[in-house]
A and B are shown apart, each in its own frame.
Chain A
Amino acid sequence: AAGVIQSPRHLIKEKRETATLKCYPIPRHDTVYWYQQGPGQDPQFLISFYEKMQSDKGSIPDRFSAQQFSDYHSELNMSSLELGDSALYFCASSLGTGTAYGYTFGSGTRLTVV
């Protein structure tokens, strides 16, 4: 079965550069969630989208922006990268946002800022 696809799997950027991470949800899933996990830290919720509209916002820095496109894939844009942005970024998709629906996670994009 198709899973949540994230690209790229690994990314190395220099400070002050920009990065774009992509998340392709499971077909027919209309909700996408983004998370960030720094080294040795718990995952932190960044932002979510339902039907191409932002549905919830967590601890996403102002330097980051995200959107969900008409095909339901989502992109996380990160500007003015800092060393502290080095983390594992993963997304999840679901059909709807209620607890009645299961959801699937991508395996993440490892971002290293040097």
Chain B
Amino acid sequence: KNEVEQSPQNLTAQEGEFITINCSYSVGISALHWLQQHPGGGIVSLFMLSSGKKKHGRLIATINIQEKHSSLHITASHPRDSAVYICAVLTGNQFYFGTGTSLTVIP
């Protein structure tokens, strides 16, 4: 069983749609990260969360510590949002990563 589960694994959306990616984890964490990787590129850290909610532009991330669940929302999606989105949790000295959600936004 993976310590971090993401869903969906693949997602195709029309431009302008509201997108939600979910992450559930089974370990105690000090922080949860949402990461983004574009084709051929390195990973960009979008959010680091330990509680509550954060917003940056069209991106919103929430975390519920009691339920061990986090969501990443993209409002008014755009083709440039096409990327792989990864949920990663840090516990002690160890990172646990989800396998990523591949998002394709169609014009």
Contact = CB atoms under 8 A, between A and B. Distances in A.
Interface stretch (A12-20, A70-78, A102-110): A102-110
Report the interface size class on chain B: 20 to 34
A10 B92 CA distance: 12
A88 B100 contact: no
Interface of A: 9-10, 33, 35, 37, 42-46, 48, 55-56, 58, 88, 90, 92, 97-100, 102-105, 107-108, 110
A102 B99 contact: yes
Contacts, number: 67
B102 A100 contact: yes
Given A99-B82, A104-B99, A56 B43 contact: no
Give the residue among B43, B48, B84, B102 with the most A Cβ atoms within 10 A: B43
Interface of B: 33, 35, 37-45, 48, 82-84, 88, 90, 93-97, 99-100, 102-104
